Structure 1
């Protein structure tokens, strides 16, 4: 079929160009449309929802066809890229009117999910990274990230857990993998992102060392600190090689390579990021921490805030610098308001600079770049006017670039269009020839009126008219009654029924001049605008520094704005091992509760030497999970440099925050809820240090009660006695038996979230008090949930039966003996319970028993469970 399709010259050209990037959808410019053919057309029509047609193509063959108008590219391109497709844009490289044969065409841009510059594809406050991943040895991997839209280039190396964290933190849209490693790496890191395979030579150390040196125009990589770091060189060079393959050659804005250092930031694994809902809520319609604390006004600030939340600092001095700025801005409302007003004006300076570097900036965006530069001086002056040393040091880093600003503002008109040729771009007075051509173009009617008047006087023909058409151009029309008065120098061009049309030498010269003026104007404006782009390119490095400083200021003023809005306070941080939070609140829950239901604050005290582990009991819905999460979020916000939702907080620096909160599974990988729970717990216990903060919520509930108690008991003992560090731990549980550990281990304490049953109804006080809760109130919570009354009554009967005699617990001498006795008694009670219900001589009950035993509890949804109970109840009532 391909041979038949290729018989036409157009399709021969198409397949030749398609062969350059066979794995990409080729948008082939034909006249005013971008067309796709064959398989590309089928895929494109499905993604875009456009019509798929067929076209005869000689020799009884046909080809599928789907296209859209070229001016709709910005509408359709994002949809293709978001669907995970690579898109090659093939444009006409010459004017079809002047082409002697088939129009010359070529690929002008290759867009991939990770390499994209289009504003319609990018998200304002999120980076768009392409990553390069490579395995060097059994547990050593290299990983680099590049956002071509901002020029940010990062690289690092580490073990599986660290690389996994980086993949979660930076969330690349595309991952480059060496072909032979793909299957193993995708399995190891559970990669679901779009991946692209590269040949092994593109990960060659020797080749990539030279490629990185060539890009940065250096002889060696000592200045980047990676001269001996082969892993980082391999993955960094692979990304640069990929840019070569995708025809991205203008890369002046990628001016540095920053190393990712695991030791600089608090460790947050993927489970912690998910359970704390830092960037994204786990439930539809919910809010994340980012949603609450993001008061940034610039896209750069928004992107930086996301990075800061995922990378809290461990350097006390750097944290205090951030706190100083937040403190000053909080106390100087006028300065903060004026700064934030400026941030609203700046636009996305970082991406505007990147577009300039690659030659993709439009005249309108260049005007916005000028506006962005114009705020630098007032921001710098405001910072210098403060009495804060950190603010003044930040001011010193800002360069107003006044000469560049003057050049931009004097060269461009304030309302420049989106492209040269779509309106006036260059201001008057910049180029004399351009001004003359504009005068000629704008004064054309007046010039022709003067010419007509002169010719009427010279010929004595009052009815002379000057006209224009696309075939003959400009002409003078004379009615037949006056044609004898026409001068001999005039040249007849057209004869009409009642008139003749002529041209003169003067009119011919004017026509050439006026018709060439518009074309010449566009050429001159293009030249001048290109020169301006080249000038701005010289300032890329400083513009990126200015952008970085504005982003940092935007985040810090955002922190002060949040503190003012929500009554946050400055935490005290030091290098101690203590953590004390007075009247702490959950930053998200307190903002989403109804105004009639205020959030109840609580105190938390943890330290390595006295109160290392706090076991928290209490009923469901009492606020145990919220208490755990708020402790982690307050600690995290403090080490990001923000104020915190608490009356006061004293936080000894932590180096890692680990959470095991909430139920989840990974059925597609054959991992049950309990397996995932144990994997996450193992990941925590294998990595704790003296400065870890550990949060466990309902650990062990994914298995039987007795197994769960045993595992939870052993984990608490391990955390208390571990030689690798005394991690500060909050352990929320329904296993009241764990309360006995406070009598056996000297750094374990019991607290409970108080609740009362008043007249058969639950009253949640949500206040943390010393001691272990006596009840879980599970049946009372079931009543609140609307469970049918017959079920809750029967549940109370069963509970009383199962609880039985508690004398064993009082006489137990160890946790292991306690669990063993309870398990034995529990089995006896279970058997007794089963005899009382199922061993009656009744066929109907036997059928119910069989059906219940065959239920797959793990896959049963709550609604399905209630429906089953309802069906059983109806059968029993009918029976």
Structure 2
């Protein structure tokens, strides 16, 4: 595998470090190496995986139930499930690779359905059903292979244990046998070519990816190695853990074991000769060695029978005595030594046998990875067939960014709600509307909708069919999300700081080919700051990044961004129905009859429609949360009072603007100046004067923040107006006293050209509030 110089240097240092511990073989093989490229896999941060509930645990109870991975996973093997988790968390970014997976999934799904169709045709007596029947063979063979592998050992971890020489003999045989059996079954999909067995190809398989995976899993080389390895071992001895009799054909292939077994056999034969000798010596024809309580090769004789004095008494009963003659003891020592030497030879041979597997490891690893990939593709085919999903369509890379989803559904919620789930459409295009601002009541389905779009995009780029009636999109290079509220007290990070940190990472990393979903940015601080930050962030997405954005908010002010990006931003809301119902107030509540209000009950329709929602219906959520009725009633009264005060305040502000404009001399003078500018065809200056008129009237605003903004804007407009008109200004608009100070005469024409000195500019600035 070709690698750049820097990774090779890092790998060399790693191997040198591991060599001190004897673990250098862990990274000595390149079978598990694969290139990591940002152009091949989508960028999904850990935060996005958590907020979108893609894998591992959901956000409600921490279990895997309700995660995208749990809904999509139909794998049969443990290693297939591990690979499938990697697929879900690392969607593809290469259009050709995605299409290859989709082609394979489509073919497997068609073979599943075609088998039923072929049975119907057979029952009806249709003659032309042979092609469909052969096509269904793909599904049958794959299902049989994966079912068998699911019942066997974890093959992927098994070959790793074999490679690292920690495998038992029984595990070795089980793993290699499973690979060999699966390869033999996959050979049913092969057809012999004229070039012989080695050049055979899978038959009736159109997908190039499927052909490659099947060819790798059923590789003749791997199967040949598997047969050779299994032929050297005794399965019965392996199941019993008998290492002394594990190896077969020891004379030629394992000479050390052959010599050890010969030594054991000679020691046993020597003992057999001794018993013949003792029969003659003692005159007992049926004399045999016996074993009692772990003691072997004892000679049992009657108690009254005399034996040589050097015989060792082992045990006795009332009538018999058991002996160990000295020649037997010496032969037993020789037998024990021979067995120990044989056991050492067997352990050494087993370790060398496992070591020799290293040269086959890359081929076996590739075969197991192919089996895992087949398991994943088969899982996606089952998903698409059972859930009635559709194949997504990806536009070419040179086409504009776009996402078009018709009748899209949330894959997780649909598995729970079934037909009760309400589908929604999504239409986003870089040359048109590429941002949706979504408003609506609390719990109305806003977050569900934007998550739904993100999950459909993830599923599509994994290579899966998706829950919709039509999906057409470009290949996303990343999905970025900012949802929910969390903090980290141990690190001193507040909820709002965490919120903005996530937003900052998105702003720095997203591109024009990314999908960004933001849910209620700015809710962790005051209303003014929250609106400002949310507005500025959305503006940055639209102006600088130009990425596809789904922006959920409860701030109506955010919708003003449509004026700046007229054709690029659309306002939507999740629809609902309301009905009036009197509030239930207890007698103990001290609320006047004038304050008694009606409560709006909300019925969520969960359908996304154009337009903005003017209410969030927080009190409805409070009722669903079972807050005390008196608390909800008081909140309703306070909400009505606040809304009334704001309305009165807005009305009085408009009145003050009209009154001030009619009484203020400076405003009259500004009006006169505006008329003069119109006569002199100074259109821009006329507009500026009108703005000055508005900002001067706003000086009476009761809000300090609004007053300060008005003053600053008025000062800027005045400065620009002075620079524009210093070459032509009627003297009549300069006060007499001021004209004398700067050296002008009263009798000069009111349209005399002048050059305004800096002192006059300064006084003009002071008029608009500069200190």
Displacement after TM superposition at 1:474 (Å): 3.2
Q: Which has the higher helix share?
A: 2
Note the 1:694-705 alignment, pairs <5 A. Answer: 694-705=516-527
Alpha-carbon contact 2:107-2:207 (below 8 Å) kept: no
Alpha-carbon contact 1:362-1:419 (below 8 Å) kept: no
Residues 513 and 428 from structure 1, CA distance in 2 versus in 1: closer, same or farther, beyond 3 angstroms?
Answer: farther
Aligned counterpart in structure 1 of residue 29 of structure 2, from 242, 251, 254: 254
Alpha-carbon contact 1:417-1:423 (below 8 Å) kept: no
Alpha-carbon contact 2:291-2:298 (below 8 Å) kept: yes
Alpha-carbon contact 2:183-2:223 (below 8 Å) kept: no
Note the 1:514-663 alignment, pairs <5 A. Answer: 515-516=336-337, 518-519=339-340, 521-574=342-395, 575=397, 576=399, 577-593=401-417, 598-663=420-485
SS in 2 for 1:331: helix
Distance 1:650 1:583 in 2: 12
Q: Does 1:732 align with 2:572?
A: no
Alpha-carbon contact 1:345-1:372 (below 8 Å) kept: no
Structure 2 length-normalised TM: 0.68
Residue matched to 2:735: none
Q: Does 1:353 align with 2:159?
A: yes
Q: Does 1:269 align with 2:45?
A: yes
Distance 1:534 1:262 in 2: 36
Aligned counterpart in structure 1 of residue 14 of structure 2, from 223, 234, 239: 239
Deviates more, 1:425-434 or 1:273-282: 425-434
Residue matched to 2:59: 282
Distance 2:703 2:416 in 1: 45
Alpha-carbon contact 1:420-1:526 (below 8 Å) kept: no
Distance 1:647 1:664 in 2: 36
Displacement after TM superposition at 1:608 (Å): 1.0
Residues 420 and 248 from structure 1, CA distance in 2 versus in 1: closer, same or farther, beyond 3 angstroms?
Answer: farther
Deviations 1:237-274 (A, max 9, x none): 45334423444243475326544222332222332122
Q: Does 1:686 align with 2:505?
A: no
Displacement after TM superposition at 1:632 (Å): 0.7
Alpha-carbon contact 2:459-2:465 (below 8 Å) kept: yes
Q: Does 1:783 align with 2:604?
A: no
Deviations 1:302-353 (A, max 9, x none): 2222322232222111110111111111111234423432442564333333
Distance 1:472 1:345 in 2: 43
Residue matched to 1:154: none
Alpha-carbon contact 2:77-2:146 (below 8 Å) kept: no
Deviations 1:717-774 (A, max 9, x none): 332322xx32111111112333343355221111111122245433221111111123
Residue matched to 2:561: 741
Note the 1:174-189 alignment, pairs <5 A. Answer: none
Structure 1 unpaired stretches of 5+: 1-222, 829-879
Displacement after TM superposition at 1:612 (Å): 1.0
**Aligned pairs, how many?**
590
Alpha-carbon contact 2:267-2:334 (below 8 Å) kept: no
Distance 1:471 1:392 in 2: 60
Distance 1:444 1:757 in 2: 98
Aligned counterpart in structure 2 of residue 379 of structure 1, from 186, 190, 194: 186
Distance 2:324 2:304 in 1: 18
Aligned counterpart in structure 1 of residue 72 of structure 2, from 293, 300, 307: 293
Note the 1:723-872 alignment, pairs <5 A. Answer: 725-746=545-566, 747-758=568-579, 760=581, 761-804=601-644, 805-806=646-647, 808=650
Deviations 1:173-207 (A, max 9, x none): xxxxxxxxxxxxxxxxxxxxxxxxxxxxxxxxxxx
Deviations 1:457-499 (A, max 9, x none): 774458967445799863323334332xx5x7x9522397976
Q: Which has the higher strand share?
A: 1
Alpha-carbon contact 1:463-1:478 (below 8 Å) kept: no
Distance 2:283 2:639 in 1: 119
Deviations 1:541-582 (A, max 9, x none): 211221222222222222112222322221001233110111
Residues 621 and 824 from structure 1, CA distance in 2 versus in 1: closer, same or farther, beyond 3 angstroms?
Answer: farther
Structure 1 length-normalised TM: 0.60
Distance 1:499 1:312 in 2: 81
Distance 1:670 1:316 in 2: 43
Residue matched to 1:110: none
Residue matched to 1:478: 301
Distance 2:393 2:107 in 1: 16
Note the 1:384-399 alignment, pairs <5 A. Answer: 384-390=202-208, 391-398=210-217, 399=219
Distance 1:622 1:824 in 2: 36
Q: Does 1:412 align with 2:233?
A: yes
- Structure of greater relative contact order (alpha carbons < 8 Å, 6+ residues apart): 2
Residues 709 and 277 from structure 1, CA distance in 2 versus in 1: closer, same or farther, beyond 3 angstroms?
Answer: same
Residues 500 and 264 from structure 1, CA distance in 2 versus in 1: closer, same or farther, beyond 3 angstroms?
Answer: closer
Residue matched to 1:714: 536
Distance 2:381 2:642 in 1: 55
Distance 1:242 1:626 in 2: 50
SS in 2 for 1:667: coil
Distance 1:688 1:507 in 2: 85
Alpha-carbon contact 1:448-1:466 (below 8 Å) kept: no
Displacement after TM superposition at 1:455 (Å): 5.4
Distance 2:532 2:294 in 1: 95
Distance 2:243 2:250 in 1: 20
SS in 2 for 1:263: coil
Residue matched to 2:731: none
Residues 459 and 686 from structure 1, CA distance in 2 versus in 1: closer, same or farther, beyond 3 angstroms?
Answer: closer
Distance 2:270 2:365 in 1: 50
SS in 2 for 1:530: helix
Distance 2:638 2:348 in 1: 87
Distance 2:702 2:358 in 1: 78
Alpha-carbon contact 1:750-1:771 (below 8 Å) kept: yes
Structure showing greater radius of gyration is: 2
Residues 702 and 403 from structure 1, CA distance in 2 versus in 1: closer, same or farther, beyond 3 angstroms?
Answer: same
Displacement after TM superposition at 1:682 (Å): 1.9
Deviations 1:199-253 (A, max 9, x none): xxxxxxxxxxxxxxxxxxxxxxxx63312x3xx4564445334423444243475
Deviates more, 1:516-525 or 1:448-457: 448-457
Residue matched to 2:723: none
Residues 730 and 643 from structure 1, CA distance in 2 versus in 1: closer, same or farther, beyond 3 angstroms?
Answer: same
Distance 2:319 2:632 in 1: 104
Q: Does 1:309 align with 2:309?
A: no
Distance 2:616 2:704 in 1: 18
Residue matched to 1:103: none
Aligned counterpart in structure 1 of residue 4 of structure 2, from 226, 229, 238: 226
Aligned counterpart in structure 1 of residue 147 of structure 2, from 341, 347, 359: 341
Give the RMSD, CA atoms, in angstroms. Answer: 4.1
